[in-house]
Each structure stands twice: as C-alpha cells, then as structure tokens.
C-alpha cells in the first residue's frame, strides 16, 4: 500500500497551504487500520474560488433520439406533452436544475442552417443528417423550440454556430434574430414567427471541432475564423446582455492547437473549448467496450482513463497561462463523458448506450477534477442529455428512466456556485494488474445556502473504505447525506426495473471531537451536509 502527499485530484498550488498541517496530522495518526482507510483534511479557513454552476451543463445534439423522442414529441403525440415537449422529461430536467444547455451540436452544428428550423413547422424543409445515422429530420425542433425549452426550465442557452459549412452573414443574422430588440429585418422576422421579445443567449461557440468534423482546419485558420466571426457577433442587448464567445479548442492533450488559438485569438475569447471522452478500451479502433456486462478490467480502465482529464486540464491550462496569465479566458469542457459500444440491435449512428454505477462514479470523479480547477474551468457539458452516450435520461416511446449519472448530477446540485474549500487527501490505491489509481476521491465546498458539503467517492469494486476527516476552521456536530451505490459494477436501471440504482439516505457518517468519520461502501458516491 502506497500513500502520497501529492493526490492527483488536487493541483499542487492548492496543496501548499495544507502540507504542514497534513504532515503533522499524519505524524500523529495511528497506523491505518486496513488497506481501505483514507485520511482527509477540510480547511474552511482558506476558501478558494467559486465553482461555476455552469460546469454542470448538458449537451443536446441532433443525434439519434436525443431531440426527437427524447425532448420533443410534438403537440399531437399520444405521449403526454406540453407544447410538444415531453412532460416526464420536463419534470426530470427541472429537478436536475440544468444550468446551461449546448445545442444544436456537435458535428451536426456545422451542417445546420438555422433558417430551415423557423416558421410554421409544416412548411419547414426536411434535412438529411449525414453525421448521425443518415436519417431525415423534419426540422420541427429549431431555434424557437430550443430557446423556449430553456426559458421554461430557466436554462442558459449555449448556441454553437455553423462555421464549417455556414457563412459569417448566416451567423450574424442568427444572433440578430435571437437577441435583437431593434426594428430590423431579423428581429422583425422573429416577430413574424411569433416571438416579440428577444431571447437572452449568454454563450455562443464559434464552431465545433474545427480540427475534425467542423472543417478539418489548421489551428491558425481556425483562429483567424474565430476573429472574423467574432467581429459580427453583436451584443444587441448592450453590455448587460453581453454574449460570451467560446473558441474551438483541442481534443485531449493537444496543446499545440491551444497555444495557437490563444496566441492569435485569445484576447477576443471568453472561453476556449476542450473535448475529452473516456473509452474503456482507450481505442477508437474496433470495440470501445460494452456499456454493461463488462468485467473488472474495463471497470478499472474506464476509471483510470477518465482521470486523464486531470492531466489534460493541467497541460491545457499551462498552455493558456502563457498567453493569459490573468486567467481571463475560461476553460470550457463542452464535451466529456464515457463512450462505449452502442447497445446491440440499435442504430450504430445513434450512439445509444446503457448507463451504470461505474458511469456515475466516473461523472463524480470529473466533478472533483473540475472543482480543483475552478479558477479556470468555467463551463462543462457532458455528452449527452438524453438517449445518447452518457445520458441523464433514457426513453423508449412513452417510457422514461433516470440513469445513475442523472442521480450523480442531482446529488451534486449543492456544489453549483459554491466556494471551494481546500482539502488534503491521503488515499490508498486501487490496484489492478500493474496499474493503480486512487481508491478514494473527495471535494468540499461552502454552498450558497451557507452550509458545508463534502462529497466522497470510493471506486473500489468490492471493498469499503473508511475516511477519517479533520475539519479545520469549522465546527460540526453531525452530518447527513445521501449515497449512490449498487451491488454490481454494471448495475443499471431498465424500463422493467427503473429504480434499481438510485440515491438513498446515508447513515455511515459520524462526527466526534471535531473529526468526521465516514464508511464508504464499495462503488459508492456520497454527498454529505455538515451540521
């Protein structure tokens, strides 16, 4: 068993204030009782940056059954709906408190022409989705439908412009159509289509994956395109309604792309995107790995590979710091999550996969990484919200289920806009073969309601873990919380058993003499409120 002061979940700069106190704690502590004991310090006396609520954002692309059947069934559908939006999905998303939602893609965005999706639905032209499944869409879900959904659920819209196959004029007119209150051609076209008041659109991405499906561009060309398009993204609502512009960033560890984007266009950006998907097999060739029925090798591999998010963020942020030492430009991880093989019998282009307790653990580990970089990571979007990849919700015609990942997002709601509390974690390893990862992960924050929350993850598949936490700068008399766990590594919800994996009250935490002790079952996520 190996212990290290440098926990990979915590940036070095956050460790420095705690190293001395951690050393004293460890020197005074008795030997750990078992291989699954961990020690934690939570320091409320030195609050850190704010955790932007927008890191809990979602992604909705015209892909498979995400939009059609997932969100939109149309007002004439026998599936209960409000103005065409599924009632069960509306209720689930409202409970989730989704802070921002990205649309219409993804790769789809760079083939999407917004004028096709406005006006009377029966007159909208159908389009061919060449990226995802080769299906024909009727365009019944367009600009009005998306922005009205966001308005209904108090979600901040995040629009991705078509830079790959679109034009600057098309982008400029779309922004005017959505956000201008003037007596102007595009604003009047919006009024003619039934919407007088402009929408508030706080976030706009200038293209998507321009290095790939968004145009196969070089970084220099992409940066020049950003400058060109950005010139015509007007703040029609004035400074109070200023649009934040997000540049197209790299995939994973490609820092050369990041450096060129920042060098050429960084001064005009509000954010730079990053995409990183977790593959259980770490290979885009052949099988990525099954979403269920996997053995411990793929369980371990998925968790190990998702921790690369820490490595990639560290490298990307260092590259950004060269050109933006004031950290004005935010890092926007607007595509992340686990990508497995599709479910047998489903359309390969629809990317429909099941969702397990493993995936909920994976999501929580990423939350902790984003918290650790809260000074720079300002937004994130898991892919995707319904029926695609690591989805929150799965539907089958009139039926709907919530996934373990949905429950992880719901449990972490107190961390939205909370203030980071520095931690120091000493954790045993989870070893498999010749590789190992930390067995326990932790994060802590002071929420907007004035309460302190501590979240813990135990990734050990069969063994519990005990966490002994010293609380600095706060006094707690007790702790209450909820737990998400399951009996098997691939436990998941089905339409026949929709509640097989769901949160429950947690009774494994005690507070005595200023120390919090928590017993974490195997494969568990726990969120505690300190009393």
**Rounded distance, CA 530 to CA 520, Å?**
16
Q: Are strands 57-59 and 100-103 parallel, antiparallel or unpaired?
A: parallel
Catalytic one of 176, 259, 335, 529: 335
**Rounded distance, CA 25 to CA 42, Å?**
12
Q: Are 14 and 22 in contact (CB under 8 A)?
A: no
Q: Is 335 one of the catalytic residues?
A: yes
Contacts of 425 (CB under 8 A, 6+ apart): 7, 9, 10, 38, 39, 40, 41, 438, 440, 441, 442
Q: Is 209 one of the catalytic residues?
A: yes
Catalytic one of 61, 69, 145, 209: 209
Q: Can you tell me whether residue 324 is helix, strand or coil?
A: coil
Contacts of 280 (CB under 8 A, 6+ apart): 288, 289, 294, 298, 301, 302, 305, 338, 340
**Rounded distance, CA 128 to CA 132, Å?**
9
Q: How many residues in total does the chain contain?
A: 531
C-alpha closest to that of 270 among 43, 54, 509: 54
For residue 225 the two structure tokens come to 């395109």
Residue 164 has a CB neighbour count (10 Å cut-off) of 22
Instruction: Give the residue numbers marked as catalytic.
Output: 209, 335
């Amino acid at each position: 068993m190996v212990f290290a002061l440098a926990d990979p979940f915590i940036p070095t700069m956050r460790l420095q204030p705690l190293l001395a106190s951690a050393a004293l704690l460890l020197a005074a502590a008795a030997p750990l009782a078992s291989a699954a004991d961990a020690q934690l310090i939570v320091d409320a006396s030195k609050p850190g940056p704010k955790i932007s609520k927008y890191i809990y954002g979602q992604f909705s692309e015209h892909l498979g059954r995400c939009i059609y059947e997932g969100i939109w069934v149309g007002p004439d559908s026998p599936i209960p709906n409000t103005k065409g939006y599924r009632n069960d999905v509306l209720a689930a998303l409202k409970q989730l408190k989704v802070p921002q939602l990205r649309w219409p893609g993804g790769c789809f965005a760079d083939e999407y022409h917004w004028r096709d999706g406005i006006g009377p639905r029966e007159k909208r032209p159908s389009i061919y989705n060449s990226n995802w499944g080769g299906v024909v869409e009727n365009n019944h879900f367009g600009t009005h439908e998306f922005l009205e959904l966001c308005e209904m659920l108090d979600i901040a819209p995040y629009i991705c412009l078509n830079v790959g196959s679109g034009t600057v004029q098309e982008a400029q007119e779309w922004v005017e159509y959505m956000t201008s209150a003037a007596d102007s051609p595009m604003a009047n076209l919006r009024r003619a289509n039934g919407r007088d008041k402009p929408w508030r659109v706080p976030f706009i991405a200038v293209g998507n994956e321009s290095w790939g499906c968004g145009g196969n561009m070089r970084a220099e060309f992409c940066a020049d395109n950003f400058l060109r398009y950005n010139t015509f993204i007007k703040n029609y609502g004035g400074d109070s309604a200023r649009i934040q512009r997000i540049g197209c960033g790299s995939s994973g560890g490609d820092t050369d792309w990041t450096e060129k984007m920042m060098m050429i266009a960084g001064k005009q950006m509000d954010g730079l995107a990053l995409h990183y998907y977790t593959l259980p097999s770490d290979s885009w060739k052949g099988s990525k790995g099954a979403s269920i029925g996997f053995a411990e090798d793929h369980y371990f591999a998925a968790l190990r590979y998702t921790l690369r998010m820490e490595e990639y963020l560290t490298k990307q942020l260092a590259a950004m710091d060269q050109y933006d030492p004031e950290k004005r430009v935010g890092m926007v991880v607007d595509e992340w999550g686990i990508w497995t093989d599709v479910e047998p019998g489903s359309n390969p282009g629809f990317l429909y996969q099941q969702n397990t307790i493993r995936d909920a653990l994976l999501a929580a580990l990423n939350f902790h990484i984003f918290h650790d970089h809260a000074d720079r990571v300002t937004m994130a979007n898991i892919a995707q919200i319904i029926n695609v990849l690591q989805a929150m919700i799965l539907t089958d015609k009139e039926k709907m289920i919530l996934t373990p990942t949905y429950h992880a997002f719901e449990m972490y709601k107190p961390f939205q806009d909370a203030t980071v509390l520095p931690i120091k974690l000493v954790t045993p390893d989870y070893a498999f073969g010749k590789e190992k990862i930390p067995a326990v992960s932790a994060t802590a924050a002071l929420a907007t309601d004035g309460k302190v929350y501590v979240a813990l993850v135990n990734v050990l598949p069969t063994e519990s873990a005990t966490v002994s936490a010293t609380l600095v700068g706060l006094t707690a008399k007790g702790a209450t919380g909820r737990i998400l766990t399951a009996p098997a590594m691939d436990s998941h919800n089905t339409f026949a058993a929709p509640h097989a994996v769901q949160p429950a009250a947690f009774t494994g935490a005690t507070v005595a003499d200023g120390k919090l002790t928590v017993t974490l079952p195997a494969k568990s996520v726990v969120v505690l409120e300190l009393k």
